[in-house]
Structures are given as C-alpha cells and as structure tokens.
Structure 1
C-alpha cells in the first residue's frame, strides 16, 4: 500500500470521525461543511426508508430539528473500509449511537447500531461526503435510572 493511499485512508477516517464529533456537539454548521453542497443523505430503519434529503441547506434544517429533540448524543465509530479511485471513494463504516431524550419527565436513551454506506469525493483539497446512507439495524430504547 502506497504512502498516498495510506494518507487518503486516514483523511477519510478523519472525515467520518469529524462527522461523529460535530454531531455529538450539535455543531451542525461545521458538520455541513463535511458534505458537498448537493449531498444526499438517506436513512433506513429496519429496512424502511424514513428520510431522503438532498442538499446541505435542507439537511441542516432537518438535523437542527432533530438536535432540538435530543439532550445528548454519544457516538462510537468502529470499522471503516474504503475503496479509493482517484478523487472518488466509497466506504462502509459502523457506529454505535446513543441519544438521550426526555419523555414524560424521564430521560430515555435510544441505542442505535448503524451501518453507513458512503460516497466520498475529493474537492478543493479535501475529502467530502457526497452521499451517505444510514442503515439503522438495531434500535433499543429504555428509561435511564438517574
């Protein structure tokens, strides 16, 4: 594996980690800079498409509405594999997400096990997400005992 290939793999890993960090911090403005302006973001829960958004302006609005409902996000990224072809790449990554919301005066945590399928593009000297499909494969909600 060439040094350039290793560098690109690290840059792509840094990209998906930045997505998680910024999401956990609810820093949606900075998170949108990780996408191409015409990016597509789809979400499937238990195999059913529940969201399909195009463009960072629309995505920012949807992320903002969602973030307003969540008290705390916590993300752990796992495996990340990529196939690089010049200025294009595809990747698969796995994440564990926790979201704490308040329901009926009690905090509830929802655990999500997610597989992301991504298309990346190298533009203006940096890698960006062109398309992200989130497959929320396992979803578990429970009341927290605080």
Structure 2
C-alpha cells in the first residue's frame, strides 16, 4: 500500500467523520460543502425506499427540515472500507445514530444502525460525497428516562 493510498483513505475517513460531526451540530450548510452539486441520497428502511433526493439544494432543504424536528443528534462512525480508483472511490461505512425528538411533551430516543454505500469524487483539491445510499438496518425507539 502506497503512502498516497493511505493519505486518500485518511481523507475519505475524515470526510465521513466530518459529515457526522457537522450533522450532529446541525451545521447543515457546512454538510452541503462535503457533497457534489449533483449529489444523490437514498434512504432505505427495512429494505423499503423512503427517501430519494437529488441535488445539493434539495438535500439542504430536506436536512434543514429534518434537523428542525430533532432536539439532539449523536453519531458514532464505525468500520469504513474504501476502494480507490484515481479520482473516484467507493466506500462502505457503518454508523450508529441517536436522535432525540420531543413527542407529546416527552423526549423520545430513536437509535439507528445504518450501513452507508457511498461514491466519492476528488474535485477542486478535495474528496466529496457524490452518491450516498443509507440502509437503516435496525431502528429502536424508546422514551428517555
């Protein structure tokens, strides 16, 4: 493994970590800076497609709406495997996402176990997410005590 490949793997890992950090802080405009203008984002829950968004503008609108419904986010990234091909790459990552929403005056925690299938491109000197498919594999909801 060359030093260049190791550097690229670190940059791609930082990209998905930055996506999580900024999302947790509800810095949606900054999250959008991590995506290509023509990004696509699909979400599957229980194998069923529940969201299919194209373009950074549409993503920002959807993410802002979603963030307005959530009191707190907490994201923990796990495994991240990538295949690099010059200025494109594909990756698989696993994430735990916790969200607290207020429902009928009570804080409700939803805990998601997510697998992301990503496509990345190197543009203007940095790696960006071009396509992201989120597979919400396990979803647990409970009141916060």
- TM norm. shorter chain > 0.5: yes
3-state SS of 1:127 partner: strand
Count of aligned pairs between the two proteins: 145
- C-alpha deviation, 1:142, in angstroms: 0.0
Root-mean-square deviation over aligned CA pairs: 0.3
User: Who is 1:98 aligned against?
Assistant: 98
Q: What's 1:14 paired with?
A: 14
Does 1:62 pair with 2:56? no
Q: Which blocks of at least 5 consecutive residues in structure 2 are unaligned? A: none
Partner of 2:126: 126
For 1:26-105, what aligned pairs fall within 5 Å after superposition? 26-105=26-105
Unaligned runs of 5+ in 1: none
CA distance in 2 between counterparts of 1:23 and 1:123 reads 22
- Output the CA distance in 2 between the equivalents of 1:103 and 1:33: 32
- The alignment partner of 2:42 has SS state of strand
- SS of 2:19's equivalent in the other structure is helix
Shift of 1:95: 0.2
Once residues 130 and 103 of structure 1 are traced to their aligned partners in structure 2, the CA distance between those partners, rounded to angstroms, is: 34
